[in-house]
Amino acid sequence: MNIGSLLQGVAALAWLAALGALGFVVFNVARGRKFGNGAPIIVIAVVAAVLLTTVASGLVFIDPEQRGVVISALAPGGYRPDALTPGLHWIIPFAERVQPYDISRKTYTMSSSPAEGQVTGNDSIEARTKDGQQIFIDASVIYSVDPTKIVELNIRWQDRFEDGAVRPAARGIIRDTASQYGVEEIVSSKRIELENAITQQLGDALKANDLVLVDFVLRDIRFSDQYAAAVEQKQIAQQQVEEATFVVDRKKQEAEQARVTAQGVADAAVIAAQGSAQATVLQAQANAQALTLTGDALKGRTDALTFRYIDKLAPNVQVIYLPSNNSYLIPLPQPSITPTLPTTTTTAVSSPDSTLPITSTTVITR
């Protein structure tokens, strides 16, 4: 409660006191009693009530979120040129009055949901796109009164600016702007562009009516049932195409992976074969070199060669079967005439029966 309201309350009590005093005097006079001191009481009560009423009518308090337009019977044009700012002000009692305006932000919503908008029921904006498709738009306009244009707003709209300026401007601009875009553009790529275009035009329209556009919110865009069904079918078909493409790509990747694996196996086999061949060549070269070295070492050493041959033939052979009248398997070494070197001679007895074994005897001569 501000001071002006408080003074108006006190003035009302003073008027009640004056009326009570007047009633008391009338009651006493009617009963034949003396008037007494009733007259001064009545006069004092009336004067106090008049003074308090006058002061209360002249004092005006403007809240921080308000501005006040002074309607004056004494000012040219019927109003003061400047609005009252927040705080306590004095106006001419009974000749001027103040029309307060709230300058805080307001939201005007047009929606298909009955519980959301200022209008009960479906209040969405019906529009036609450039390609003739029917769409339904839910939107909200966030705006405020221009504090520097309060007087002009009062002259032009008074308290009718929401229904007279905000709503018609918003609905008309939304319809006109939507008609410049195709339905596919509104659905996908140019929705933000559509919202920005509406915001620009609506801001200019509200400014021309002494209002300030804070923000425009494009809440929802809906389509006719037929178009919604067509869009759904198109999306299903597109998803199927994408799925088929994904399957093809996956098969390609699997085939490429199998090819790389087979190539790796083939490369490994080639490398293994090359390694085996190289090892065989190296082994053959080593064997050839070993034979060469062995041959060089045994040159002119027939006795050593014969010993190695016998030794390698069979270290544990005790019986050898030979057919009759056949030569020896190996050439026997000749006896040496050198008395210092012993000579070992192995002889074989041939049996007339080829099935009998040949026994070996060792003869040592000196």
pLDDT at 344: 41
User: Quick one: average pLDDT of 298-306?
Assistant: 68
Query: What is the H or E stretch that residue 217 is in?
Result: strand 211-223
From the options 3.30.479.30, 3.40.50.1260, 3.40.50.1950, 3.20.20.70, give the CATH code of 106-225: 3.30.479.30
Residue with token string 């796109």: 129
Confidence of residue 146 (pLDDT cuts 50, 70, 90): very high
pLDDT at 250: 83
Tell me: pLDDT of 90 over 50.
yes
pLDDT at 171: 95
pLDDT at 295: 74
Angle, vertex CA 58, rays to CA 52 and CA 59, nearest 5: 90
Q: How far is CA 237 from CA 42, 133, 182, in A?
A: 93, 21, 21
Q: Which residue has the higher pLDDT, 353 or 40?
A: 40
User: Quick one: average pLDDT of 38-43?
Assistant: 70
pLDDT at 1: 54
Confidence of residue 107 (pLDDT cuts 50, 70, 90): very high
pLDDT at 363: 35
Pairing, β 96-102 against β 59-62 = unpaired
Domain positions in the chain: 3-102, 106-225, 266-299, 302-365
Tell me: pLDDT of 360 over 70.
no
Contacts of 188-191 with CB under 8 Å at 24 or more apart are 191/218, 191/221
DSSP string, 48-115: HHHHHHHHHHHEEEE-TTEEEEEEESSSGGGB-SSPBPSEEEE--TTTEEEEEEE-S-EEEEE-SSTT
Q: What is the pLDDT of residues 148-201, one digit of tens each?
A: 999 999 999 988 999 999 999 999 999 999 999 988 888 778 889 999 999 999
Confidence of residue 53 (pLDDT cuts 50, 70, 90): confident
Tell me: pLDDT of 332 over 70.
no
User: Quick one: average pLDDT of 284-306?
Assistant: 75
Confidence of residue 228 (pLDDT cuts 50, 70, 90): low
Q: Which two tokens stand for residue 48?
A: 């106090």
Q: What is the pTM of this model?
A: 0.56
Confidence of residue 317 (pLDDT cuts 50, 70, 90): low
pLDDT at 316: 63
Residue with token string 């908008």: 117
